[in-house]
Amino acid sequence: MRAKLIAVLYTAMLLGANPAAADVAALRTGDMKKLALHETPVDLPAAVFLDEADAEHPLADWRGKWVVLNFWATWCAPCREEMPMLDNLQAAMPELAVLPVATGRNAVEGIQRFYAEAGVKNLPILRDPKSDLARSVGVMALPVTVILNPEGQEVARLIGDAHWDSDNAKAILAALMAGG
C-alpha cells in the first residue's frame, strides 16, 4: 500500500510540475519495460473492424480519444490471461478507449464464451478476421498492444502480455494523455 501511494504521489508531482515534461520512459518498470515509446507518432492505415453482428467500425470512429489497441486471439494463452486486466483498465480509466481486436480466425461464439468465462464486461467485441490491420502494422505474434494518440497515430507499442490494470501502466497512460 505504501509503495502504491508513493508511486501515485510521485506521478502526481511529476505531472503537476510540468505535464509537457513528464518523462514517460522513466515510469516504465516491471512488465511495462517492454513498452517501446516512439520518438515521433506513426500513422496507421485506415482500418475497419467487425463487431459480433458483423457491423463495420472504422478505427477513425475513436479519433479524439487515446486508444489502447490490443491484438489478441481466443487460442492465445497470454492473450486470455491479459484480457481481464484490459477490462479492469477500461473500468478504471473510462477516458481511454480500450479496444481488443480478435485477429485472424476467432469465432464470435468463442469470443462471447471467453468474455463470459473471464468476466469481461467493459470491452467491445471487435474482430480483424483476415488480419488485415494486424499485418499492415507489423503484428507478427500475439498479444501486441498499440497505444494511439487522439489523432489516431501510434505512439507506443508493447509486444507480449502485460498487467494493464497495474498502477504503473495507469501512470504511464496518464502521463501520455497529459502530454508526456
> Mean per-residue pLDDT for 54-65?
95
Listed in sequence order, the residues at least 6 apart from 49 whose beta carbon sits closer than 8 Å to its beta carbon are 56, 57, 58, 59, 99, 101, 126, 127, 128, 133
What does the mean pLDDT of the chain come to?
88
Domain regions of the chain by residue span: 33-163
Looking at residue 61, its pLDDT comes to: 95
Looking at residue 25, its pLDDT comes to: 85
Looking at residue 12, its pLDDT comes to: 42
For the stretch 24-49, what's the b/e string if a residue is b when 16 or more beta carbons lie within 10 angstroms of its beta carbon?
beebbeebbeebeeeeeeeebeebeb
Looking at residue 180, its pLDDT comes to: 56
User: Class of the 33-163 domain?
Assistant: alpha beta
